[in-house]
Amino acid sequence: MTATIEHQQAEEHRHTHGPGCGHDAVLHENHVDYVHDGHLHHEHATKTGVHYDECTRCACEGCGDFCAACDCADCTCETCNHATCSCANCSDACSSCTCDDCTCTTCAHAA
């Protein structure tokens, strides 16, 4: 099954983000977001070229932070970086969990 992910394209950039570009990098799910002018975004390659997409926002009520930087104490957002795998023998973040038999509903690779 393929999921459709909605995304918001960031403003056009004349600068390619990467190591040493001068912007802080944050690993988030299967990509790296870059902190740039008060927001976070990541490169998105398409058939017609490359652009930058805005990082998703936390879905928790009352939180307006980006998922890559969210620090809600009681976060339930599936795409936030700090959610921790709920499997019995795992303590990895859901965004980077690689359990072979993962049952956690918020892990990025869970079916």
Which sequence spans correspond to the domains of the chain? 1-76, 81-111
* pLDDT at residue 12, rounded to an integer: 62
**Mean pLDDT, to the nearest integer, of 7-14?**
59
* pLDDT at residue 2, rounded to an integer: 35
One-letter amino acid of 40? L
**Radius of gyration for the chain, computed over Cα atoms and rounded to the nearest angstrom:** 15
How far apart, in whole angstroms, are the C-alpha atoms of residue 50 and residue 17? 12
Confidence of residue 10 (pLDDT cuts 50, 70, 90): low
How far apart, in whole angstroms, are the C-alpha atoms of residue 18 and residue 15? 9
How far apart, in whole angstroms, are the C-alpha atoms of residue 21 and residue 24? 9
Residue range 45-83, pLDDT digits in tens: 889 888 888 888 888 888 888 888 888 888 888 788 776
Residue range 24-42, pLDDT digits in tens: 888 887 778 888 888 888 8
- Strand blocks (E) in the chain: 25-28, 31-36, 39-46, 49-54
Q: What is the pTM of this model?
A: 0.61
pLDDT above 60 for 7 = no
pLDDT above 70 for 100 = yes
pLDDT above 80 for 6 = no
How far apart, in whole angstroms, are the C-alpha atoms of residue 63 and residue 99? 29
* pLDDT at residue 72, rounded to an integer: 83
Please work out, in degrees rounded to the nearest 5, the angle formed at the alpha carbon of residue 48 by the alpha carbons of 42 and 54.
Answer: 20
**94: nearest Cα among 107, 82, 78, 109:** 107
